[in-house]
Amino acid sequence: MTTPLPKLTRQDFVSDQEVRWCPGCGDYAILAQVQKILPEIGVPKENIVFISGIGCSSRFPYYMNTYGIHSIHGRAPTLATGLKIANPDLSVWVITGDGDALSIGGNHLLHACRRNTDIKIILFNNRIYGLTKGQYSPTSERGKRTKSSPLGSIEQPLNPISVVLSAEATFVARSVDVYTRHLQETLKAAAAHKGTAFVEVFQNCLIFNDGAWDFVTDRKMRSENALFLEHGKPMVFGKNHDKGIRLNGMKPEVVQLGNGITEDDLLVHDQYTEDPHLAFLLSRMTYPEYPAPLGVFRSVRKPTYEEGMFSQIEAARAQQGEGDLRKLYHSVETWVVDEDTQVVGTEIKGALVAGLDEEYIDEMDAPPGEPTEVEHSLEFDLITELQPAAPITVTPGTSLAEVIATMRASNIGSMLVVDDQGRLAGVFTERDILNKVACKVEPEGLNAASVGDYMTRNPTTLAPDAPIAHALHLMAVYGFRHLPLVDEENRPVGVISFRDVVAYIGRWFA
């Protein structure tokens, strides 16, 4: 006999954290409606998880007395998918915003819908970036003036409903933050759906985009601009229920009832049809040409990702038995190579030593010991200890022929190029000769070509009082053979080479 769930109330889902949204923010209304419907979905509180990304909406998990994860920007659908697969008994909810879900998180949202994992996604759409103080977002209307688009956005906004329908979402709905009863019913329908359920909520940002949804929230306008979708019923709207939507060819049109036009001429909503075309057509109806459709656009049952995955696992077990990890590791696609192994081309002959030497692994895991005398010197001795060579400089207008001749006569691997005030402008090295000059500049052209056109601009430099270890690090990581030394005004005072560092280290072993 199943033990009945304890009777829960909204208060059971209210956390002890102070809710910190701006006074008047639409997020408060969404939070309240979610807390109200959770006692009615028949899931134990300990089996409910809220996962968010980044943004104002993403503070949501703190205010729910359930499990929660405040994750990273745009990745909440990814964590939700993994969590649902790991524990299918959980009711997993994703809380996201138009910036979080449709900008950096766009790819993750698409694949969550495509896979049809049994998670619920609520997208708070205020058509602005609120947390980062008022930049335009992926849903901001064209021409929107914001801090990041002072002359008006030139981008085409995304339509969240169209996006998720294109990604094959099996449940798609829309509501408004201040439509409390409608929002409750929409969220309950999403909770009951088996598969990815996506709910867009028109949410007002009082501070940075106040009035974005006035056409469906202002009492003087909303009845004329909201189309409530009801399955099996004609699409009627208006304060006096005297307007409707009918299909004119492939395009919906607004008509006035009367004068021979009746409800029989109107489109009838069918949220359960497998064909997504009607839902997509409705998603393209936008204000001011059309009233905004609100309610469930589509609700169809298709196999969920986890159902398919567990079905494959059971089929594999029935056919092959329980898995054996050790056997997998030693399957025919692995081999062993011993010390007598010969490698011929890409063909491996012999056998691999089974596992790494345990002493070697222990040595790698051991904490670092005291630095050696050489390491200590490299860390504390200054570059001046290397006795840097005096810089030989030229100006950017010097010909390649003259520079190369000077390098050859002085037996140096680099030449420093300075501007008319003696500041370092670039470095010309043996590598530049090989990569930029050889086979590219004809010998007779060396006199006409200037070193300024072939030098490496803005080279990495060091101060003479930097530790030798710093120079060694730059040379080892970036492959530098020479490093110019400059004073505080970026004037060359010397040059060191890799050979100088090696000679310094060699003194300790002489």
Helix axes 498-506 and 468-478, enclosed angle (nearest 10): 120
How far apart are the C-alpha atoms of 179 and 457, rounded to whole Å?
Answer: 61
Topology of the domain comprising 374-509: CBS-domain (3.10.580)
Flag whether pLDDT at 352 surpasses 50.
Answer: no
DSSP state of 146: B
User: What's the pTM value of the predicted model, to 2 decimals?
Assistant: 0.66
Q: In Å, how far from its chain's centre is CA 143?
A: 26
pLDDT (mean) for 327-346: 61
How far apart are the C-alpha atoms of 154 and 142, rounded to whole Å?
Answer: 6
Would you state the pLDDT for residue 336?
Answer: 63
How far apart are the C-alpha atoms of 134 and 150, rounded to whole Å?
Answer: 11
pLDDT (mean) for 147-172: 96
pLDDT tens digit string along 66-77?
Answer: 999 999 999 999
Per the CB < 8 A criterion, the answer to whether 459 and 427 are in contact is yes
pLDDT (mean) for 79-91: 96
Per the CB < 8 A criterion, the answer to whether 449 and 399 are in contact is yes
Per the CB < 8 A criterion, the answer to whether 157 and 151 are in contact is no
N residues, the chain: 510
Would you state the pLDDT for residue 6?
Answer: 79
The domains of the chain are located at 10-233+271-299, 240-268, 374-509
Would you state the pLDDT for residue 364?
Answer: 60
Flag whether pLDDT at 188 surpasses 80.
Answer: yes
Instruction: Give me the amino acid identity at 111.
Output: H
CA dist 333 → 197, 296, 313, 427 (Å): 41, 50, 22, 51
Would you state the pLDDT for residue 335?
Answer: 60
Would you state the pLDDT for residue 375?
Answer: 81
With CA atoms as reference, report the closest residue to 103 among 117, 89, 123, 88. 123
Bridge partners (DSSP) listed for residue 450: 399
- The lowest-confidence range among 26-35, 324-333, 375-384, 397-406 is 324-333
Q: Which residue has the higher pLDDT, 501 or 53?
A: 53
Would you state the pLDDT for residue 305?
Answer: 96
**First vs last C-alpha separation in the chain:** 85
Flag whether pLDDT at 4 surpasses 60.
Answer: yes
Q: Which of 3.40.50.970, 1.10.3470.10, 3.40.47.10, 3.40.50.300 is the CATH number of 10-233+271-299?
A: 3.40.50.970
Give 339's pLDDT tier (boundaries 50, 70, 90): low
With CA atoms as reference, report the closest residue to 67 among 86, 56, 55. 86
The 3-class secondary structure across 378-398, one letter per residue, is HHHCEHHHHCCECCCEECCCC
Give 321's pLDDT tier (boundaries 50, 70, 90): confident
Residue for token digits 């980044």? Answer: 54
* Sign of torsion over alpha carbons 278, 283, 287, 289: negative
Give 365's pLDDT tier (boundaries 50, 70, 90): low
Would you state the pLDDT for residue 244?
Answer: 97
Q: In Å, how far from its chain's centre is CA 382?
A: 43
Would you state the pLDDT for residue 354?
Answer: 43
> Which are the contacts of 291, defined by CB distance < 8 A and separation ≥ 6?
224, 225, 226, 227, 237, 243, 245, 254, 285
Flag whether pLDDT at 342 surpasses 90.
Answer: no
- Looking from the CA of 186 toward its CB, the CA atoms found within 13 Å total 30
Q: Which residue has the higher pLDDT, 259 or 351?
A: 259
Would you state the pLDDT for residue 374?
Answer: 80
Per the CB < 8 A criterion, the answer to whether 57 and 28 are in contact is no
- Phi and psi angles of residue 332, each rounded to the nearest 5 degrees, phi first: -65, -15
pLDDT tens digit string along 438-460?
Answer: 878 888 889 999 999 999 998 99
pLDDT tens digit string along 95-149?
Answer: 999 999 999 999 999 999 999 999 999 999 999 999 999 999 999 999 999 999 9
Bridge partners (DSSP) listed for residue 237: 243
How far apart are the C-alpha atoms of 52 and 62, rounded to whole Å?
Answer: 10
Per the CB < 8 A criterion, the answer to whether 413 and 497 are in contact is yes
pLDDT tens digit string along 301-313?
Answer: 999 999 999 999 9
Give 322's pLDDT tier (boundaries 50, 70, 90): confident
Concatenating the DSSP letter of every residue in 330-383 gives TSTT---B-TT-EEETTEEES-B-SS--HHHHHHHHSPP-PPPHHHHHHHHSBG
Six-digit token string for 247: 């299909």
Would you state the pLDDT for residue 345?
Answer: 47
Would you state the pLDDT for residue 476?
Answer: 87
Flag whether pLDDT at 348 surpasses 70.
Answer: no
Computed on alpha carbons and rounded to an integer, the radius of gyration of the chain in Å comes to 34
Instruction: Give me the amino acid identity at 159.
Output: N
Per the CB < 8 A criterion, the answer to whether 243 and 259 are in contact is no
Bridge partners (DSSP) listed for residue 172: 198, 298
pLDDT tens digit string along 203-222?
Answer: 999 999 999 999 999 999 99
Give 259's pLDDT tier (boundaries 50, 70, 90): very high
Give 340's pLDDT tier (boundaries 50, 70, 90): low
How far apart are the C-alpha atoms of 338 and 281, rounded to whole Å?
Answer: 66
How far apart are the C-alpha atoms of 321 and 64, rounded to whole Å?
Answer: 43
Share of the chain above pLDDT 90, in %: 72
pLDDT (mean) for 252-270: 96
Share of the chain above pLDDT 70, in %: 91
Would you state the pLDDT for residue 349?
Answer: 45
The 3-class secondary structure across 461-505, one letter per residue, is CECCCCEHHHHHHHHHHHCCCEEEEECCCCCEEEEEEHHHHHHHH
Would you state the pLDDT for residue 343?
Answer: 52
With CA atoms as reference, report the closest residue to 42 among 77, 78, 7. 7
Q: In Å, how far from its chain's centre is CA 435?
A: 37
**Average predicted confidence (pLDDT) for the chain:** 90
Per the CB < 8 A criterion, the answer to whether 183 and 106 are in contact is no
